[in-house]
Structure 1
């Protein structure tokens, strides 16, 4: 077994770009990763990594060794997946990240249901609106909303989301109902992170700059303000659908509504999907399509 010591640590450092990120992914100390990689270099009598105070990079010899080791580790992972598939029950750790609100309202409950079915799983879930580096931070899966920007990841579309412009009846009674995009500049438009709203006009995307008395990066806070009649809001369906169905909010400018965009699961392109990740993806797809 001595010949394998340090291989996984080296591969992880090469993929994450630092000893700290590698240690985080492997669940060990940075010192242990450094010690194992140094011992591996000693056995091979070859320098695999360049180390500076700011970064770690792979040497030319290290690149060759990495490619060979990656193939071996992929083969081992495939063998493990085969055994897991034969046993039928997903087990081990799953690391998932998702946006905060959608994660709280939709993804986390589904993950909990999945764990109830497969109690041998250990799930670590991080809810954040920051787009984390899946490889560097060691995540198996991320949920992303809207248009995808990172082409280095594999993606599966799980569901769709739509943006709704709406307001409370009390606001519309006091300030009138806008029927055209040009009328928005006369209304109190509650803003999120962006100073424009997205529409589709005559089949083409169109962004309209808006302004209002409240600006907040929380969709729930903007929903509360809209329900209290403070202004008009544009939010995804998972924030406002219940209020729309109950008549607490009135849909506006529906003929300018942008086409639905996606809710995606993404994962690193250089990884074969393990059975547990594939089963979770299938469970998400089935549940969200209902």
Structure 2
């Protein structure tokens, strides 16, 4: 009886499931299409189970194949994680780490911290994409993302790094001329300068309320909205990286502080699959300390 290696055909089968076709799997593994097909067929014969349903157009995973894939994936992940841990213990972090973050938060908060991080780990090369588009990490080949506010992508692992506050504020000159609103209802009488969403968030007795506000100007740039408020055009609601220094030096004044919305999360996200890329854990640990976070309850 011909002996076989217990892993024979497994890598090919997993690649077909993840890539969606024999051709794509062959490209990923850098072997021929025929070789992939042969290895998977032999694996099915050995197991006595049909793992894949093949048609001329596409490949579909059978119910048994889906279960087997999950088990194989766990084994491969475990193997890669062990190998990864061993190499990490023997060397300083190296290689390339690709990450994305929102533009203003990236420029104002993240980059100053990453400069220090880069000085500490010069052999880890950072490739940083600042973008307000929520890039798909897997499609874009990114190792991690910094996201703000509510999390939407359940396919990603996440870790809370910090929180940030959102402030409703205006200049002293605007408030002198138009009066200071003391209720949410009174905002209707004011020029509310809105961003992309067209509504503001408030907290009333612990319940979040989204309030539609209107004014003479809408702009998708937080920096521009802040500058409009500094020039006495109206009231804005913006996160602290935009208006924090202005509130501290008094050029903007917070209003309706008793209705200030609950703080938003600052999150580190990374793909579910396989082990975490070398620098991701390091950066997450570093940012968690540097952003002075309280751990998530």
TM range (shorter): 0.7 to 0.9
Query: What is residue 246 of structure 1 aligned with on the other side?
Result: 249
- Residue 33 of structure 2 is aligned to residue 38 of structure 1: yes
Report if aligned partners of 1:84, 1:275 keep a CA contact under 8 Å in 2.
no
Which digits, 9 at most, give the CA deviation of each residue in 1:71-125, with x for residues without a partner? 4542342233222332251111212111111112222332332222112212222
Query: What is residue 230 of structure 2 aligned with on the other side?
Result: 227
Secondary structure in 2 matching 1:235: strand
| Normalised TM-score (structure 1) | 0.81
Counterparts in 2 of 1:81 and 1:183: CA distance versus 1, 3 Å: same
Q: How many residues align?
A: 278
CA distance in 1, matches of 2:229, 2:129: 29
Secondary structure in 2 matching 1:272: coil
The structure 2 residue matched to 1:205, chosen from 203, 208, 222, is 208
Report if aligned partners of 2:268, 2:284 keep a CA contact under 8 Å in 1.
yes
CA distance in 2, matches of 1:127, 1:236: 17
CA distance in 1, matches of 2:179, 2:126: 49
Query: What is residue 27 of structure 1 aligned with on the other side?
Result: none
Counterparts in 2 of 1:212 and 1:36: CA distance versus 1, 3 Å: farther
CA RMSD of aligned residues (A): 3.4
CA distance in 2, matches of 1:166, 1:277: 36
Counterparts in 2 of 1:79 and 1:45: CA distance versus 1, 3 Å: closer
Which digits, 9 at most, give the CA deviation of each residue in 1:223-253, with x for residues without a partner? 1111111110000011100011111101100
CA distance in 1, matches of 2:14, 2:39: 15
| Normalised TM-score (structure 2) | 0.80
Report if aligned partners of 2:147, 2:266 keep a CA contact under 8 Å in 1.
yes
CA distance in 1, matches of 2:81, 2:284: 18
- Residue 125 of structure 2 is aligned to residue 122 of structure 1: yes
Query: What is residue 192 of structure 2 aligned with on the other side?
Result: 189
Unaligned segments of structure 2, at least 5 residues? 1-6, 42-50
The structure having more radius of gyration, on CA atoms, is: 2
Counterparts in 2 of 1:34 and 1:87: CA distance versus 1, 3 Å: closer
Counterparts in 2 of 1:67 and 1:79: CA distance versus 1, 3 Å: same
- Residue 171 of structure 2 is aligned to residue 168 of structure 1: yes
- Residue 98 of structure 2 is aligned to residue 95 of structure 1: yes
Q: CA deviation at 1:126?
A: 1.6
CA distance in 2, matches of 1:124, 1:48: 38
